[in-house]
Each structure stands twice: as structure tokens, then as C-alpha cells.
Amino acid sequence: MQISMWVAYDEKRLRRTIQFILRPQMRLVRILGGVLFVLGLGLVALEPTASVAYVAVALGLVFVVAIAPITVARSMRMQSNVIKDGFHMTLDDEWVTMTYPLAESRFRWAGLDRIVDTPEAWYVMFGKIQAITIPKHPMTEEQRTQFVAFVAGLHPAGK
């Protein structure tokens, strides 16, 4: 397999990738926030004058509603300006290579944990929080078919 393409910087795609990576952790934060909210409401029902109960309700709401967007926004701000110029992506039988004007990243397919297929892109996971987004729109239909066939031939953990 030899697929080569230019991938323009896309802030929305980067935001979706960050949300995808953070989703398991944010799910836990939301569950804990919900528990804290319900416990706070229970305390308010039992003792309406207890300020701790109102703090628990407020913190629960923050955990359920605000932590995920705040975390994604902070992660977006922490990204290097190097990525804002777009990059050239090469997919071959051994490597995923992303070449930016000022940097280069390479990952061996042998280190692949899993691939998640979405309508817009494939998320290639190397570990639990390292994801490479392979967008579908810069590829031709033939390249997409070639990539899917390549992925199907990888070890079971990559399927």
C-alpha cells in the first residue's frame, strides 16, 4: 500500500479528534458529576440549610455540563502552531507518516492498538490517548478501498 495526500488544517476535525480521545475520561467525569448532583439534592432534601449540599449540587452540574467543553477548549489552545499549516500524510505497509513544514511524525503499524471507522475519518489508535486522524475526504475511492483492505489484513488488535 502506498497512499499519499495533503491534509489541510481543519480546526473542527482537530476538535472532533480531541473529543474522541477524551470521551472515555469525560464519561467517567459526567457519571461522577451526576452522582454528586443526586447526592447533593438528597442532602438539600434532608437538610435545606446545609451549604455543603448546595456546593455538591453546583459541582455536580459543573462536572456534568462544563468540564468536557472546558477540557476540549484548553486542549485546542495547547496545540502547537506547527500543525496549523496542514501536513502531508503518507500511508505505506510499515508506517503512517505525517510531515508538517516544521516537524515530522512517524508511527509503525506494528504499534497499532485499534482503528475506529467514522463517516468522516478513521481514528488510528496507538495506545489509549494517542490517535491519528486519517480523513477520508482527501482520498480517492480507490485509496479508501485500498486502505480498508490493508487494515483488514492487520493483526486482530488493529481491526
Which pLDDT score is estimated for 115?
92
Residue whose cell numbers read 481491526: 159
- Domain ranges within the chain, ordered by starting residue: 2-8+84-158, 11-78
Nearest CA-CA partner of 139 in 120, 153, 154: 120
Q: At what angle do helices 11-46 and 67-78 cross, to 10 degrees?
A: 150
pLDDT for the residue numbered 130:
87
**Mean pLDDT, the chain, as a whole number?**
91
Which tens digits make up the pLDDT trace of 136-148?
999 999 999 999 9
pTM of this structure? 0.78
* 87: its cell numbers: 501536513
Determine the pLDDT at residue 155: 58
* Residue 119 CB partners (closer than 8 Å, separation 6+): 136
Strand-pairing partners, residue 132, are: 124
pLDDT of residue 154: 81
| pLDDT on residue 128 | 83
Domain at 2-8+84-158, CATH class: mainly beta
Q: For every one of its 159 residues, what pLDDT tens digit does the chain have, with 9 covering 90 and above?
A: 899 999 999 999 999 999 999 999 999 999 999 999 999 999 999 999 999 999 999 999 999 999 999 999 999 999 988 888 899 999 999 999 999 999 999 999 988 899 999 999 999 999 888 889 999 999 999 999 999 999 988 855 444
